[in-house]
Amino acid sequence: MEMSFVPFVQSPIEVVRRMLQLAKVEERDLVYDLGSGDGMTVITSCREFGAQAVGVELRADLVKRSTDEIRRLKLTGCGRIFQTDFFNFDISDATVVILYLNTPTNARLKPKLEKELKDGTRVVSHDFEITGWKPLVVSRDNPLGHAIYLYKLPESLVGSDGSPPYTSSSLA
């Protein structure tokens, strides 16, 4: 079995929905779930939000399980799962990135996100912050017991002195 960066822990469907709601996912979006596990975020993105969705998962058993469920639900035109290391997977066309990893993995992933994601991309992390980024929203109320962090590029990026690494004119 492949070595995972984090153990698979299923996100409650209420958390998945809340993450997608906070990111304001809609039909025109392309959602990437890095460490997609059972594929629930990919499936929910397609079924409930009408978006295209891509899961990236290292474990073969979880890829099979989620791919089988996507086929069963007849969502193959909308959702796909790739079995690979997300550090080596191009995410540059994402408009939304969903994470349920851990703080060290988020920190390791941060340079890739900053390099590959376009301005306007929303990044949502379940329970674990992206150290050094400023969340636009931190939701702890619903569902109770879970923290959801919403970031948006470039607004969430801050320089080492706490100032944004861009000028206001670059946001026009």
- Please report the pLDDT score of residue 141 as a whole number: 73
Answer yes or no: is pLDDT of 159 > 70. no
- DSSP H or E segment with residue 29: none
Say if residues 32 and 46 touch (Cβ distance below 8 Å): no
Q: Are 105 and 131 in contact (CB under 8 A)?
A: no
- At 145, the pLDDT band (50, 70, 90 cuts) reads confident
Sequence-distant (6+) residues with CB within 8 A of 64 are: none
pLDDT at 12: 83
| Extents of the domains making up the chain | 13-171
- pLDDT given for residue 23 in this prediction: 97
62 φ, ψ (degrees, to nearest 5):
-75, -35
**What's the CATH architecture for 13-171?**
3-Layer(aba) Sandwich (3.40)
pLDDT band of residue 6 (cuts 50, 70, 90) is low
Task: Give the model confidence (pLDDT) of 104-144 as tens digits.
Answer: 999 999 999 999 999 999 999 999 999 999 999 999 876 66
Query: Which tens digit of pLDDT belongs to each residue from 58-111?
Result: 999 999 999 999 999 999 999 999 999 999 999 999 999 999 999 999 999 999
Q: Which pLDDT score is estimated for 158?
A: 74
d(CA 89, CA 84): 7
pLDDT of residue 149: 96
> What confidence score (pLDDT) does residue 1 get?
35
